[in-house]
Structure 1
Amino acid sequence: MSRNDLCLELLRPFEVTNAGCRISLPLGAQRLLAFLALQNDGAHRAAVAERLWPDCTPFRAAANLRSALCQGRRLGCVTAIESVGPRLLLSPAIQVDLHRVRASARQVMEQGQPLPTDWADLVNDLSRELLPGWAEEWLMWERDSWDQMRVYALEDLAQQFQATQQYLPALQAALAAMTVDPIRETAHRIVIEVHLAEGNVASALKRYRDYRAFLRRELNVRPSQQMTQLVRDLTPT
């Protein structure tokens, strides 16, 4: 088994694969691998046990951690979890989809970088939730962090494509950002601007009115003046 064979997927239902073949793991080992994949510098054993089994006594949580380590430390002939003193770390031998997509997102948000040619795959990756279906409390902050990063990356991507008059990828990226955070105005505004640039006035007005109605229903507020200005001369608001 080579270092590049092992993959850990967090942006879909949890899965570990070796050269495309799924490796079945108990839930405790899954949770441990996922938790460590989200820690850049690993984590202390006691902290891992406390975070993953918060409702257990320290003794029981430590026992659960030992069991999960036994089940997930080695995958085939590769050490998946490394120990450095009291700290546990995910081995660099494991490729993690979240790490790859985060790196692509950071590249999108860096100034002067070329636009990705595989934009459809990137938009699809950035549209994925972190560990969907998992209800662990320790995931809440991680999900919030991922959602913030991906919505900014999608909006940046949409704006860059819009600036180069590549309207289909601009729309796809903006629409994906809207699914992540439907209240946030930026992506809605980009969609309106793209419709107007293409001469699709009716589509622009519909997007504005739909968003205005959504805000009124959910928060009893109106779109910003910046957004309203986009359609001000098209029809009375």
Structure 2
Amino acid sequence: MTGEKADLSVAARIPFRQVRGDHRVPEARGSMCPEPEQVGESDGPGRPFTAAVASRDHITVEGEPTMRLSLLGGFALRMDGRAIALPLNAQRVLAYLSLDKVSRPECDRALLAERLWVDAPTGRARGRLRTAMWRIRQASPDLVGGNTNNVWLADDVDVDVHDFSHAAHRLLSETSDLPTDPTQVAVRPAELLPSWDEDWLMLAREQLRQLWMHALEASARRLLDAGMIPQAIDQLLVVVAEEPLRESAQALLIEAYLREGNMCEARRQLASFARQLWTVLRVRPSRDLCERVGGELNVERLR
């Protein structure tokens, strides 16, 4: 009952919105409405889907709210600077749609229900999805859109994961400029929804980690080519600390030491890398990497 009261209080604070024309769209107040799971393919009590969600076509709305969804470090939804509380299943739907939007604009309804409620029968899973969508629209009808088969996160919702992804891809672009503040790039992003135990999050977390390391390497390479060797070394040390067996980062770090004339540092870094590589995988660094510092290393001596 506490969660339902919280949701209704959020809905009660949202006034009628004036949209283009003379139509006024009220929010669902819902206390006397049947549970959404009981109303077929609607996403809300007694409302057909086509009338219940926003169209993908842009509609000019007076006083349109600023919506910000944070997933890094934990789930948080804010509208016009005000924190919005949502039930966990509604949070899961928004989080999945946000991550899915990175690769495709829309998500199949049946697939979404199946991914979020793996152990539930098909009918029950789809009912839970309808309930979650209804809860989301109680907070704001502008958060999600959809049609009979697909749902999506609205384009007006700012997502921190999207911001991070765009910044990282800018660094990976060959035409991008040097970062204005190289130290900011080296900060590891907070973990994606750290307290959530979801199978579909495992791949997303690793994708973000790999993207961050690739962006750091690209930034360091650009700094190195610009003669900013100390800054490049700082960023590469962050990468090898995160992933000690990443040979691309180790090779670039060794190259940076060589460019500033520190052969001793280069050999020490190669020796450290070779020792860890042998201990964990029983393999040696590539011949090309060893030749950069003057030939093969005797791994047995490094043990």
Query: What TM-score does the superposition give when structure 2 sets the normalisation length?
Result: 0.68
Query: Which of 250, 260, 270 is matched with 1:188 structurally?
Result: 250
Q: Residues 235 and 221 of structure 1: is their aligned pair in 2 closer, same or farther, counting only changes over 3 Å?
A: closer
Contact 1:4 / 1:94 at 8 angstroms: preserved in 2? no
State how far apart, in whole Å, the 2-side matches of 1:67 and 1:26 are. Answer: 10
**Aligned-partner residue type, residue 174 of structure 1:** L
Contact 2:73 / 2:193 at 8 angstroms: preserved in 1? yes
Q: CA deviation at 1:187?
A: 0.8
Unaligned runs of 5+ in 2: 1-61
Query: Which of 259, 269, 274 is matched with 1:197 structurally?
Result: 259
**Aligned-partner residue type, residue 119 of structure 2:** D
Which one has the largest radius of gyration? 2
Partner residue in 2 for 1:80: 143
Contact 2:76 / 2:83 at 8 angstroms: preserved in 1? yes
User: Cα RMSD (Å) of the superposition?
Assistant: 2.7
Of Structure 1 and Structure 2, the greater helix share is in: 1
Alignment of 1:153-192 (within 5 A): 153-192=215-254
The reply on whether 1:49 has 2:110 as its aligned counterpart is: no
State how far apart, in whole Å, the 2-side matches of 1:233 and 1:217 are. Answer: 21
State how far apart, in whole Å, the 1-side matches of 2:80 and 2:186 are. Answer: 25
- What's the CA shift string for 1:40-99, capped at 9, x where partnerless? 222121111100010111122122212221222353x55111123321100112101121
State how far apart, in whole Å, the 2-side matches of 1:2 and 1:128 are. Answer: 32
Partner residue in 1 for 2:155: 92
**Aligned-partner residue type, residue 62 of structure 1:** R
Partner residue in 2 for 1:120: 183
Contact 1:147 / 1:180 at 8 angstroms: preserved in 2? no
Query: Which of 145, 157, 165 is matched with 1:102 structurally?
Result: 165
**Aligned-partner residue type, residue 257 of structure 2:** H
Q: CA deviation at 1:14?
A: 2.2
State how far apart, in whole Å, the 1-side matches of 2:65 and 2:293 are. Answer: 51
Query: Which of 271, 277, 280 is matched with 1:215 structurally?
Result: 277
- What's the CA shift string for 1:83-129, capped at 9, x where partnerless? 2332110011210112112222222222222112033323326x444
Partner residue in 1 for 2:200: 138
Q: Residues 121 and 49 of structure 1: is their aligned pair in 2 closer, same or farther, counting only changes over 3 Å?
A: same
Q: Residues 4 and 224 of structure 1: is their aligned pair in 2 closer, same or farther, counting only changes over 3 Å?
A: farther
Percent of residue pairs identical = 31
Contact 2:179 / 2:219 at 8 angstroms: preserved in 1? no
Q: Which moved more, 1:129-138 or 1:155-164?
A: 129-138
State how far apart, in whole Å, the 2-side matches of 1:132 and 1:173 are. Answer: 25
Q: Which moved more, 1:56-65 or 1:144-153?
A: 144-153
Unaligned runs of 5+ in 1: none
State how far apart, in whole Å, the 2-side matches of 1:104 and 1:122 are. Answer: 9
Query: What TM-score does the superposition give when structure 1 sets the normalisation length?
Result: 0.85
